[in-house]
Structure 1
């Protein structure tokens, strides 16, 4: 077996899943200033309209804004399993040997049996990314329209490489170690086209209420496959195997989604709410683990491996973008509204396309410059109350009111090949203009 690391495996999965280095869909990596601010309708950034469709109408001034390039965002998440990649690499080498004696076999089983169970629970690598089509989001606000119209187009994808564990067994007749353990790769590519319209619906001396609606067309290509470790030929490149299996196990579907939002804007604060995916759009994964007799070679082995784990993975799955309610608020301590303290909360839990649950809390603050020469800066704290339950800190800056750069990382770490890394991290950069 050629030396393989799970970091390479994740990179291969990422390449298979989003060749465009991009993303779309709910509960994936945030992009632009939203990586730091969270789901807040922050003034001065066109990307706010991707969240609350009323955000464009609630902007400080009429005119138009658009993103020249990006924002582009990339991120990863690792399971809480130290030295996951190193240990699995060693196991792959062992599974390729045919000269293992009784005594060595027992030592190998003693070493790996507990690790495999841990890897089955926490061993995974998740990668995702996002990119806007150039010049989007494009936001136009004037009196003729009676409000604000925006267009955004995104492409992208997400992948999760996890481990399906099965006990090791010694075959004394062939002097080999055998196992049904497998790698489970799940992900998809997305294209998202959204058009939103927002306008003021109520004006009082204390402030103005804005409402908006966003219609989104999603096109998804979802894939999942199980790779039986025991049956990967030593002369084959696992990256090629993943690519071939991805292409052979994809399903394309499309649907429309509907988002609605409201935003109350007063002189020194704002409050808002967004109900996303009001109509619960659905997308189908390909069926796996069936008609295995029609296949041959590694593809048949992978099919049979999927059927073997049919009680632990969903062989016939539909992804539903369940409705999600998000509330937000921001306080501007000074009349200039250049300084902001903000927060957002997902009221209910939803799953991302690969099935991981999310329910985000974000608390943030920052300075939004009104001058081309003054840099903007922001900082935030984020917690996922579901699934991984990870805590993130994030920092961001805006230079010349055009270039945005944001980074986020977790407070938890994990050992990878002897070095410590954040369990999850993300970076986003882009260019946008306002006139």
Structure 2
């Protein structure tokens, strides 16, 4: 199977599944791609994290603030396998041959059986995309109340494909033969649509000197609509690959609705602030569509893939039925103002959580951001972040704001792999957003 064909099919699946939500699953919305989960009054997108930050978003003379057009972004991540695409393509080409001599077949068996276990351990590709509903988030104050309400809505798409290795053997028919393997790609995909409503207000103010400050608390309810699907695709079943992925995606997809509760607190002082967020306190669950069921009712490539899924399930290599749990976890964040418009911030997840496709995360980030008073001078931000578990990937991040309202943010992975013989980052991401300035 050509890996490029799979990539094209994943793109088709993206179109099929629909666009996706601004939340800390696989997609970091807006400027939070650079700054992480720091409560930042200059960025409405930080409302995706600590709900208490809504109290920071309005000046005393403001009643409402909103995003303008939208915030949209995408990113890709690759496993730590050098020349992954080339190795898979070479295997696919050799699987198509039926004119191998015995010595050629045995040489190919030795070659691929030496590398397939590594592909099985490290070979994966993941794509995430997210978009906010236009004008979202919206922060507003009603009737001079002490606190602020906010509404946010958007969507997210996450697709992950990993390689499942199987032994390569040679089958002879007279003087010629072919190689065979049940190696496959295990594709998992999820789309999420979210509507969130939250409120934040100060509850205490006092102290003296550097201890003086304001305690803000907030809460948020999110309604999630997730559609989750997974499928096994044999790498030598290349005919009508795109149609097979699309057909099986629909057959295996399960949609469900759940509600999550998150609470946050911020201690805000003149020169610094501290934050704590408790995410997904009630841990809602969402089912994936099953694989390896009702195979006798299928035909052709879909049936072959279904029977192979049954084999992997029997071997304990995949789960036939699966549930995604939005696990509860905490996030600490802290920031200090070095100058009125220069801020340093850091955040750290307490406990691990997982995205739609089951990969584990525990983020640590540090960033600096500068927002000039004069509207024509771009605001600039730089940062660093690392996943403390799972992939353990680290990234450098950079962003800038034009005219205070148009944001561009980039993530460039510091871990590398080889692609076509050249060194390349294992992960990259890009966001663009339009939102009203504080």
- Say whether the 8 Å CA contact 1:24–1:190 is kept in structure 2: no
- Give the 5 Å matches for 1:323-334: 323-334=328-339
Distance 2:312 2:426 in 1: 27
Q: How many residues were matched structurally?
A: 427
- Say whether the 8 Å CA contact 1:57–1:141 is kept in structure 2: no
RMSD over aligned Cα atoms: 1.6
Question: Offset at 1:313?
Answer: 1.0
Question: Offset at 1:408?
Answer: 0.6
Given the alignment of the two structures, is residue 417 of structure 1 paired with residue 420 of structure 2, yes or no? yes
Question: Offset at 1:264?
Answer: 0.9
- 1:191 equivalent in structure 2: 193
Query: Deviation string for 1:337-365 (max 9, x for gaps)?
Result: x1101100001011111110000000111
Listed as ranges, the gaps of 5+ residues in structure 2 are none
- Give the 5 Å matches for 1:25-424: 25-59=23-57, 61-62=59-60, 63=62, 64-141=64-141, 144-173=144-173, 175-205=177-207, 206-230=212-236, 232=237, 236-310=239-313, 311-334=316-339, 336=340, 338-424=341-427
Question: Offset at 1:15?
Answer: 3.6
- Say whether the 8 Å CA contact 2:23–2:29 is kept in structure 1: no
Question: Offset at 1:210?
Answer: 0.7
Distance 1:29 1:14 in 2: 17
Distance 1:8 1:17 in 2: 14
- Say whether the 8 Å CA contact 1:377–1:398 is kept in structure 2: yes
- Say whether the 8 Å CA contact 2:23–2:48 is kept in structure 1: no
Distance 1:132 1:270 in 2: 27
SS at match of 1:332: strand
Listed as ranges, the gaps of 5+ residues in structure 1 are none
Spell out structure 1 runs of 4+ moving beyond 3 A. 17-26
- Tell me the TM-score normalised to structure 1 length: 0.94
Question: Offset at 1:259?
Answer: 0.7
- Say whether the 8 Å CA contact 1:155–1:190 is kept in structure 2: yes
Distance 1:188 1:17 in 2: 10
Query: Deviation string for 1:382-433 (max 9, x for gaps)?
Result: 0101111011110010111100000011111111122321100101011111
Given the alignment of the two structures, is residue 13 of structure 1 paired with residue 2 of structure 2, yes or no? no
1:117 to 1:360, Cα distance in 2 relative to 1, 3 A: same
- Tell me the TM-score normalised to structure 2 length: 0.94
